[in-house]
Structure 1
């Protein structure tokens, strides 16, 4: 009995290692997009991925045919959403070190845009995962896409007296 359990445990560990080897890179990129960190300086994304993989490993034996990538991605997304809610209050705009291509987006807009466009999750699934109406997900995705395609301009340069006098 113990040998059989040990054998199943070892097989499960090998399967999980194979899953991580194949999926960790894409999931880290997803987490990096969510946190709007630079790809080479992404401690928040790495922590988010570590927590998601630990959760997946903890329930690995109970997946019963469920897609481990989908399970990990869902946990990653909900963990990010809850963390953003608690850290920034209702998906606020303030966040530390926004440097990525999605830095102009709110955490909620980033989450929806990443799930919809990068991960290819359907509107209905995204809405169900986040507890939002499908129409709201569509509107947020459209607004986020427009912001990424046409980022807000920075403030106009200040006019100094020397420039005015030269004119």
Structure 2
């Protein structure tokens, strides 16, 4: 094979790869445009930060989105939203020790584990068994923690002298 022929093949392959990279970037941009606000809200609930000042939630979501982008070509029909939500939950669970301090968010009265389960079950609508599989707990334990978290939020809402909780929008 001549030098000129090799260079032409290399340029052809390079052109094809850059076209695939551009398509991949467009698809991912469209996904992020549609899903980022809901995922950011979920991350903000997890970190118990106020919606207007949520740098930890933004960092958590950025990491989850980066991981999804890295695996974008290997999703093969899998829902990217579910993949990103799962990655977000796993990243939060691994670093939950950072989120014990009260920050003023809607769910700041709950422990990190309670927040994770409550957000997955009630805000995201993930089934009990799937939530248990994501965080590695038995389904009965997930049910008990979710019930305890809901009770804690209801009792906090009725406590005298405390402001009413604003609903997440």
For this structure pair, what is the TM-score category when the shorter chain's length is used for normalisation? Answer: 0.7 to 0.9
Say whether the 8 Å CA contact 1:48–1:79 is kept in structure 2. Answer: yes
Residue in 2 that maps onto 1:4: 16
- 1:154 Cα deviation (Å)? 8.0
Query: Where in structure 2 are the equivalents of 1:129-140 lying within 5 Å?
Result: 129-140=134-145
Tell whether the 8 Å contact from 1:101 to 1:148 is kept in structure 2 after alignment: no
Unmatched runs of 5 consecutive residues or more in structure 2: 1-12, 162-169
TM-score by length of 2: 0.83
CA distance in 2, matches of 1:102, 1:147: 10
Listed one character per residue, the Cα deviations across residues 72-124 of structure 1 (whole Å, up to 9, x for unaligned) are 10010010010014x47xxxxx31x4211211100000000000000000000
Counterpart pick for 2:103 among 98, 105, 108: 98
CA deviations 1:37-95 (Å, max 9, x no partner) are 0000101000001111111111111111111111110010010010014x47xxxxx31
Cα distance between partner residues in 2 of 1:44 and 1:69: 20
With the length of structure 1 as denominator, give the TM-score of the two structures. Answer: 0.84
Aligned ranges 1:2-151 → 2 under 5 Å = 2-85=14-97, 87=98, 94-95=100-101, 97-151=102-156
Aligned length: 148
Structure 1: state its 5+ residue gaps: 89-93, 156-167
